Structure 1
Amino acid sequence: MGMPTDIEIIDTMIGLPSHDRREIYKFLSADLRDEESGTFKMPAQYMFKDIPAEIDADADPVAVTLYNMDRFGVAKAMINVGNPTREDPARAARSFPDRFLPCLDVDPRNGMEEIRRIKRYHEEFGLVAVTTFPAGCRTAINAAPYYPVYATCVELGLPIFITAGVPGPRVPLEPQKVEYLDEVCWFFPELTIVMRHGAEPWEALAVKLMLKWPNLHYSTSAFAPKHYPKAIIDYANTRGADKIIYAGYFPAGLTYERIMSELPNVPFKDEVWPKFLRENAVRVLGLG
């Protein structure tokens, strides 16, 4: 049968197009040492050949995103409402709560202030998840500064999406070694964890850890479907149908045209597709 066309897709990673993409990534500029990175509009530009274009100054980024979602059957999408450089994501979540699922990206280096920030945003928006980029925070997944964040997620009943594997931006990979998830899953069995951005080159280890830990999952963010790791596809088709969750990368690095043109060619079994496109996200994000 292949990929069904009648499922209301949930995308667990979306952004909004920008008039100036560089503004979004200013937080990384101090850590990017090579000369070429300074010329990029997004810090992993060398990895993507078809980065979505910036929009005109008079275009509404929320309207552009909704147009793309409607065009490609994306019913809901998870968006970071705490970006300090942009008010538009928060506006999207407030104006269209039936379409945008609010999450909050956090930096554990801010200590208790970040814990208070999580609780403040959760009270205001009703967060569905917390997200974090360990390499961007120069803090290992299993380092002490993350433990209060994990404990707060458990307290609030929120999953955390953690970027794992070699980062696209040219910053050190050490904070995102997949093996570090083993300790966190062990210490926080009540914490739902979702890996982001591939976990490569440790995707086989990611599968092994998902077999080991019931609270560990994987999302397909930042990968064009034709580049989904074989180990992940094989796992979804065998014992991992409940663990693999769809996430795109619009508009950071991929257009929906490319994602949705390649997605039907992913060799998932028929019974995997509904879980991958919607059901697993409903369960993990507590939308049921």
Structure 2
Amino acid sequence: MIIDAWGQHQTLRHATDPIFDSLRRWTRRTVPTAEAPVADTLAAMDAGGVDRMLISAWYAPRNVMISNDEVAGFVAASGGRLIGVAGADIARPMDAVREIRRAVTGLGFRAVRVLPWLWEVPPTDRRFYPIYAACCDLGVPFCTQIGHTGPLMPSEPGRPIHLDQVALDFPELVIVGGHIGWPWTEEAIAVATKHENVYIDTSAYTIARYPQALVEYMRGHGRHKVLFGTNYPMIMPAKALDGLDGLNLDPKTRAAFLGGNAARVFGIS
């Protein structure tokens, strides 16, 4: 089974938000004019042989690009192939905790994702700590972005070393850092190696762009720590998986990378 640890089925609000204009310059994606059906996402998964995809809500300051309820609708329309990941407005901590609880216990979501760069603060900011406590209480992973930002926003909040303090304060919290942490990938590997519950996903990068340090980590003591991801629709699953054989992963490591690690982390049967 192949599980994509980071995707999103876009709303038109998300797809056309000006914050992504800089990404469109080099991906050469046109701005859509209509909502895409869930069938488009499922077709892209089929083309890449992806069985399941975790899709997330997007909450930014005073801007809900994809709501939890919209994600729940996409999940319901997918025949069980899409899995919900909740978002929350960290500027309203108690409202955020209640919304996360609703998404997990009421909507069946399997994780929470908040992107520090959208808030222009690191994940050690006090507003994140109620979110971490809620994730621990509910037994779901906290997913976030590590590395530089494609959008023209500060990259410093994505330094992987920030997660070291979070993991020290919440050792039971499962943390998945997406986008491999480049250009601080070795820093991400150090944090994931140090902390039992910290993981890395490869979303937003094709296999040809994986840093060698990450590939060596996947082949060695990090074989249970790296999850496959695309950041769909930025990268299509088939393109994200192109060159997989060139990683020279043994069968068990390859299966863990493509789906086994995600199944364990997110509790997917």
What is the TM-score when the length of structure 2 is the normalising length? 0.88
Query: Structure 1 pair 246/157, CA: closer, same or farther in 2 (3 Å)?
Result: same
Distance in 2, Cα, partners of 1:166 & 1:209: 17
Query: Structure 1 pair 205/97, CA: closer, same or farther in 2 (3 Å)?
Result: same
Structure 1 runs not aligned, ≥5 long: 1-7
Query: Structure 1 pair 267/110, CA: closer, same or farther in 2 (3 Å)?
Result: farther
Distance in 1, Cα, partners of 2:47 & 2:89: 34
The equivalences for 1:6-45 within 5 A come to 8-16=1-9, 20=12, 23-24=13-14, 29=18, 40=21, 43-45=22-24
Contact 2:6–2:53 (CA under 8 A) maintained in structure 1: yes
Partner amino acid, structure 2, of 1:277: L
Contact 2:179–2:205 (CA under 8 A) maintained in structure 1: yes
Query: Structure 1 pair 50/225, CA: closer, same or farther in 2 (3 Å)?
Result: farther
Q: Counterpart of 2:268?
A: 287
- Between stretches 257-266 and 111-120, larger displacement belongs to 257-266
Q: Decide which of 30, 46, 52 is 1:70's aligned counterpart.
A: 46
Residue 241 (str. 1) matches residue 192 (str. 2): no
Partner amino acid, structure 2, of 1:182: D
Residue 106 (str. 1) matches residue 103 (str. 2): no
Deviation at 1:223, TM superposition (A): 0.7
Aligned partner of residue 242 in structure 2, secondary structure = helix
Contact 1:233–1:267 (CA under 8 A) maintained in structure 2: no
- Identity of aligned pairs, percent? 27
> Which of structures 1 and 2 has the larger relative contact order (alpha carbons within 8 angstroms, sep 6+)?
1
Q: Counterpart of 1:175?
A: 157
Residue 134 (str. 1) matches residue 116 (str. 2): yes
Query: Structure 1 pair 257/76, CA: closer, same or farther in 2 (3 Å)?
Result: closer
Q: Counterpart of 2:237?
A: 256
Structure 2 runs not aligned, ≥5 long: none
Deviation at 1:93, TM superposition (A): 0.8
Distance in 2, Cα, partners of 1:186 & 1:82: 27
- Between stretches 142-151 and 8-17, larger displacement belongs to 8-17
Larger Rg: 1
Aligned partner of residue 172 in structure 1, secondary structure = coil
Distance in 2, Cα, partners of 1:118 & 1:225: 33
Aligned partner of residue 44 in structure 1, secondary structure = helix
Query: Structure 1 pair 60/182, CA: closer, same or farther in 2 (3 Å)?
Result: closer
Question: Deviations for 1:113-149, whole angstroms, at most 9, x for unmatched residues?
Answer: 1111111112321111101110111221111111110
Aligned partner of residue 90 in structure 1, secondary structure = helix
What is the TM-score when the length of structure 1 is the normalising length? 0.83
Distance in 2, Cα, partners of 1:265 & 1:95: 35
RMSD after superposition: 2.3
Distance in 1, Cα, partners of 2:88 & 2:247: 32
Q: Decide which of 66, 72, 77 is 1:95's aligned counterpart.
A: 77
Q: Counterpart of 1:219?
A: 201
Partner amino acid, structure 1, of 2:46: D
Aligned partner of residue 275 in structure 1, secondary structure = helix
